[in-house]
Amino acid sequence: MPIHNADIAAVFEEIADHLEIQGANPFRIRAYRNAARTLGELPQEARALLEKGEDLTRLPGIGDDLAAKVREIVDTGRCSLLERLRRELPPAVTGLLQIPGLGPKRVKALYHDLEVQTVEQLYRAARDGRIRALPGFGEKTELNILQAVEAHVSQTRRFKLAVAAQYAGTLTAFLQAVPGVDQVTVAGSFRRMRETVGDLDILVTAAADSPVMQHFTAYDEVADVLSAGSTRASVVLKSDLQVDLRVVAQQAYGAALHYFTGSKAHNIAIRRLAQKLGLKINEYGVFRGSERIASDSEASVYKCVGLPYIPPELREDRGEIEAAREGRLPKLVELSDLRGDLHAHTKATDGHDSLREMALAVKGLGLHYLAITEHSRRLTVAHGLDPLRLTRQCDEIDRLNAELDGITLLKGIEVDILEDGSLDLPDEVLGRLDLVVGAVHSQFHLSRAKQTERILRAMDHPYFTLLAHPSGRLIEQRAPYDVDMLRIIRHARDRGCFLELNAHPDRLDLLDSHCQMAKEEGVLVSVNSDAHSSFDFANLRYGVGQARRGWLEKDDVLNTRSLAALRCLLKRTM
């Protein structure tokens, strides 16, 4: 793919956006914007000028450093500075610039003062009246932002991963039963395990005479057929979820799967690698001239550009290509790596099943241990346990463990972190437990400094083990509370305690970017179901998907350890 001036200008504009959000030197920001303007208005292609040996520093506002970056972009299709800046900011932050009325300065204020990272968080902040208090905003601006976000969201409705999975599962089974159908695979953001899904992209390989298209468009859940042809069709389900179906030849299946899995940024980067090798990659295969040299598997596509297979969850153009090139790709954690679950509730509080029922359900999944972590007394809506009731439950767990075979229940509590950072139960009872899971369930709107100090003080408690759902967010319902997550992660490292990745589909908390941060800081993450019934353990797969998006390997996850190894780690926090 030739690099045009508009491509280079877009890179420089994005660099300037990142720098402005980060509060960099205004002169440096202006230099990139001026360079973007110069290149955007330049009638000759910078690529052609470089091929002629022209000195780009002759152009207005282009010095040696910017000229070198232009050459890097033209030669490689990449800009190392932009890639570094993307790693330093949560990827969704720059997406806020798509909201009308939000420029880099306002996005910077929202990110630094309210830690707004996503459109969802922006909406909650505007709806809750927290934006108007920021300098330079006000009530009118807040209202304009709220209206702009509502208009934006209405155009780009997304479905939680677990909701999309319900439709994907039944539709996949339906298509698989159609005569002549061989393979059915859901690609797109669903395959990459994004926490929300805009639509479903389904690939099918089938015999030439298969009636798969007719069956698809006549599917009971279809509300509207947008288009229908011999190899592709698009429908909208009654749930308003759009589904696109493509029938591909078996020999092109791997290339098509790679193409339709995305992400767009990842695919562009792979295509640019191919172009440097004189190859062309599209949904039909990898071509050298008119000769197709690979297409049957995704691995063959990556091999053609000198890379090993990259798992779908990593395909976001966040450093995975460089890691693959350098042999640094993580061996991502698998659901089968989990040995237990460290966060679950029973009907003693707000759960629905007994201790025995929960234990047997976990055993049935092949897990070896389960921590029972009821709510503490402060959470009255959940009938939280007071010291006496918790003591009685501990006794009941001991009796049940004496009867059970192949599964061990651990004694725990999901204790409320109070506003001053103290824990909701006394040390005498906490000291009897195998682990203490601390959680924020109130006062979500404390300032960043107060919320952070609150959690740090809780983590300093001698019996504190694990920080539950660390950001407190509920997807599309409640924004994360304002907290310095890097400081919390580093404090967990210094204190020797752990962080939870809550697998509940409404939470998926830690964020994938925070998982990477924890990995880099050497803090173990526990992938927990937060099960309130024996059915909820199935949500562990979504937690593992989020962990994989966060580059976590088996050794990065606390509950991949054997029970004996886990007990040793838990004792260190007590």
**Residue-by-residue pLDDT tens, the chain, 574 positions:** 457 777 788 899 889 988 888 888 999 999 999 898 888 767 677 888 898 898 898 887 899 999 999 999 999 988 999 999 988 877 677 778 778 778 888 888 888 888 888 888 888 888 888 999 888 888 888 898 888 888 776 666 788 898 888 789 889 999 999 999 999 999 999 999 999 999 999 999 999 999 999 999 999 889 899 999 999 999 998 888 899 999 999 999 999 999 999 999 999 999 999 999 999 999 999 999 999 999 899 999 999 999 999 999 999 999 999 999 999 999 999 999 999 999 999 999 988 889 999 999 999 999 999 999 999 998 887 789 999 999 999 999 999 999 999 999 999 999 999 999 999 999 999 999 999 999 999 999 999 999 999 999 999 999 999 999 999 998 877 889 999 999 999 999 999 999 999 999 889 999 999 999 999 999 999 999 999 888 889 899 999 999 999 999 999 999 999 999 999 999 876 6
Looking at the chain, which residues constitute the CATH 3.20.20.140 domain(s)? 335-573
Q: How many angstroms separate the CA atoms of 105 and 33, rounded?
A: 14
Which one, of 329, 202, 304, 313, lies nearest residue 266 by Cα?
313
Strand partners, 423: 417
- Name the one residue in this structure whose structure tokens are 């996949």: 172
Pairing of strands 498-502, 466-467: parallel
pTM (2 d.p.): 0.76
- For 479, residues 6+ apart whose C-beta sits below 8 A from its C-beta are 116, 120, 121, 124, 125, 473
Beta strand spans in 91-157 (E) = none
User: What is residue 155's predicted lDDT score, i.e. its pLDDT?
Assistant: 62
Structure tokens belonging to residue 427: 């040390």
So what CATH class is 252-325? alpha beta
Phi, psi of 478 (to 5 degrees): -145, 130
CATH of 5-155 among 3.30.1360.120, 3.40.50.300, 1.10.150.110, 3.40.640.10: 1.10.150.110
Looking at the chain, which residues constitute the CATH 1.10.150.110 domain(s)? 5-155
Asked if 36 and 9 touch (Cβ cutoff 8 Å), the reply is yes
User: What is residue 156's predicted lDDT score, i.e. its pLDDT?
Assistant: 61
Looking at the chain, which residues constitute the CATH 3.30.460.10 domain(s)? 159-247
How far apart, in Å, are the Cα atoms of 449 and each of 106, 110, 454, 455, 466? Answer: 21, 16, 9, 10, 21
Helix (H, G, I), strand (E, B) or coil at 196: strand
Expressed in angstroms, the distance from the first to the final Cα of the chain is 57
Pairing of strands 369-375, 340-341: parallel
Q: Which fold has domain 335-573?
A: TIM Barrel (3.20.20)
Helix (H, G, I), strand (E, B) or coil at 455: helix
Looking at the chain, which residues constitute the CATH 3.30.210.10 domain(s)? 252-325
- Per-state percent for the chain, helix, strand, coil, to nearest 5: 50, 15, 35
Q: How many angstroms separate the CA atoms of 395 and 428, rounded?
A: 15
Helix (H, G, I), strand (E, B) or coil at 237: strand
Asked if 424 and 378 touch (Cβ cutoff 8 Å), the reply is yes
Q: Which fold has domain 159-247?
A: Beta Polymerase; domain 2 (3.30.460)
User: What is residue 171's predicted lDDT score, i.e. its pLDDT?
Assistant: 92
Which one, of 19, 37, 36, lies nearest residue 28 by Cα?
19
Q: How many angstroms separate the CA atoms of 417 and 155, rounded?
A: 39
Question: Taking the alpha carbons of 16, 21, 24, 27 in that order, is the dihedral positive or negative?
Answer: positive
